[in-house]
Amino acid sequence: AQTVTQSQPEMSVQEAETVTLSCTYDTSESDYYLFWYKQPPSRQMILVIRQEAYKQQNATENRFSVNFQKAAKSFSLKISDSQLGDAAMYFCAYRSAIEFPNQFYFGTGTSLTVIP
Amino acid sequence: DGGITQSPKYLFRKEGQNVTLSCEQNLNHDAMYWYRQDPGQGLRLIYYSQIVNDFQKGDIAEGYSVSREKKESFPLTVTSAQKNPTAFYLCASTERSSYNEQFFGPGTRLTVL
């Protein structure tokens, strides 16, 4: 089974600054998808960004971008111009493109604090 | 609006009682999932279902049971055999296509008294 590792249980960032959350994964597959989810205090899981493994270009969604290093099996999330509303738990997730049935594999999460 | 509903939001149960958590989706998704979330452990998969009348055990299925009689519904029963049921439970669904993310319900907080 695939494993997803988030080695930073907690991170903090000053408002308006940039922070990077780390994620590594272990797989023998060449085709897969990676996701970052945000879970604010309401506990509603929200998709932040998605990356297709076959794409070399890093995904970007407004202030959120990823650094996808396929050979290193690394998938970090960069949050620019951090805002108070970014404070949340962030989960990295992996989904195989070829496995059936499709399971999602989640990391243990990183708790992000935004300091005013 | 399309989405996933879970009820109730908070649930209290006495030890030794079975309890059923509801999950309904109107997204027309084939696959549905149940996760348990405990502090510091991320999301752990309990059961998942790809089609009606079929489901598979996840990593922590012991003490839980599910059914999938309708595409829209995937209820989870927490039985008295579950030794430590107090947790936050999340239901999710997704399209079969691997490109698609999981959509999540708002969750149910179960507390055993």
Among the partner residues A44, A102, A108, nearest to B40 by beta-carbon distance = A108
Contact at CB, A45 and B31, closer than 8 angstroms:
no
Among the partner residues B43, B48, B106, nearest to A91 by beta-carbon distance = B43
Say which residue, B104 or B1, is predicted with more confidence.
Answer: B104
Task: Give Cα separations from B56 to B29, B32, B64, B68, B108 (angstroms).
Answer: 17, 11, 12, 11, 21
Say which residue, A82 or B83, is predicted with more confidence.
Answer: A82
Please, what is the end-to-end C-alpha distance for chain A in angstroms? 41
pLDDT recorded at residue A48: 97
Q: Does A50 touch chain B (CB under 8 A)?
A: yes
Percent of chain A with pLDDT over 70: 97
Mean pLDDT, range A98-111, rounded to an integer: 84
Give the minimum alpha-carbon distance from A44 to chain B in angstroms, rounded to a whole number.
5
Q: Are residues B63 and B85 in contact, defined by beta-carbon separation less than 8 angstroms? A: yes
Mean pLDDT, range A74-95, rounded to an integer: 97
Say which residue, B108 or A98, is predicted with more confidence.
Answer: B108
Whether B69 shows a pLDDT value over 70: the answer reads: yes
Contact at CB, A45 and B33, closer than 8 angstroms:
no
Say which residue, B99 or B43, is predicted with more confidence.
Answer: B43
Please give the mean pLDDT across all residues of chain B: 92
pLDDT band at A102 (very low <50, low <70, confident <90, very high): confident
Residue of A nearest to B47 (CA): A103
Q: Which residues sit opposite B13 in a β-bridge?
A: B112
> CA A59, CA B1: separation in Å to the nearest integer?
27
Say which residue, A23 or B16, is predicted with more confidence.
Answer: A23
**Which residues make Cβ contacts (< 8 Å) with residue B23, sequence separation at least 6?**
B4, B5, B6, B32, B34, B73, B74, B75, B76, B91, B105
pLDDT recorded at residue B41: 78
pLDDT in tens, B21-34: 999 999 999 899 99
Among the partner residues B50, B98, B106, nearest to A33 by beta-carbon distance = B98
Whether A60 shows a pLDDT value over 90: the answer reads: yes
pLDDT in tens, A1-24: 789 999 999 999 999 999 999 999
Contact at CB, B31 and A43, closer than 8 angstroms:
no
pLDDT recorded at residue A106: 94
Among the partner residues A44, A102, A109, nearest to B98 by beta-carbon distance = A102
User: Which residue bears the tokens 């404070």?
Assistant: A87
Q: Does B102 touch chain A (CB under 8 A)?
A: yes
Percent of chain B with pLDDT over 90: 75
Chain B residues within an 8 Å CB radius of A36: none
Mean pLDDT, range A30-58, rounded to an integer: 94
pLDDT recorded at residue B42: 86
> CA A58, CA A103: separation in Å to the nearest integer?
23
